[in-house]
Copies of this chain bind each other. A is one copy, B any other.
Amino acid sequence: MRMNEGVEWALHCCVNLAWVGPDEAVPAAGLAAFYDLPTAYLNKQLQALARAGIVSSTSGPKGGFRLARPAKDITLLDVVTAIDGPEEAFRCREIRRNGASRKLPDDYRQRCLIAQAMREAEVSWRRELAARTIADIKGAVERQAPDGPELTRRLLLRPPRSRR
């Protein structure tokens, strides 16, 4: 089980966009240069965030991406769902309805308790992610390095021409 690698990229980008603020848009090329990532592929991930309503995109010069709502209203689960898809990791295929097991009494197959247990574990995971917002991460990093945000802002608003 491996999560989409773009989730890490998207989370970092969201924190950076929170520092830049909603007045300036940052193009995908700028964010890609910031972490040395493939521009086009990062663009694809940001598109997914735009479709999910997490960021808003504008075309043309001075265009790019910016947060579509306050950082405190964007949970980690929102980002993970946007990039990695809404489907659960464990999918019950109801295998117990096939083969010889269909000879068993119906009430045996009423509810799949295995699927239920797996689902509860995933709910716990989701709950944990939904409890943390981009603003939480942002605040924690600021306490760790107070001058980081300002430097990030400066680097992102004067992007190099392009690296890829």
Given the contacts A1-B1, A105-B148, A125-B125, A99 and B35 also touching, CB distance less than 8 Å: yes
B114 near A8: Cβ-Cβ < 8 Å: yes
The CA-CA distance from A15 to B112 in the complex, in Å, is 12
Question: Cα distance A29–B87 when bound, in Å?
Answer: 31
Q: How far is the CB of A67 from chain B (nearest CB, A)?
A: 16
A2 surroundings in chain B (CB, below 8 A): 1, 87, 89, 91
Q: 8 Å CB contacts to B: which residues of A110-164?
A: 110-111, 113-115, 117-118, 120-122, 124-129, 132, 136-137, 140-141, 144-145, 147-148, 151-152, 155, 160, 163
Interface string of A84-110 (1 = CB under 8 A from B): 110101111101101111011101101
Which B residues are CB-close (under 8 A) to A90?
Answer: 3, 7-8
Tell me the A21-68 residues at the B interface (CB within 8 Å). Answer: 32-37
- By a beta-carbon cutoff of 8 Å, the part of chain A in contact with chain B is 1-5, 7-9, 11-12, 15, 32-37, 76, 84-85, 87, 89-93, 95-96, 98-101, 103-105, 107-108, 110-111, 113-115, 117-118, 120-122, 124-129, 132, 136-137, 140-141, 144-145, 147-148, 151-152, 155, 160, 163
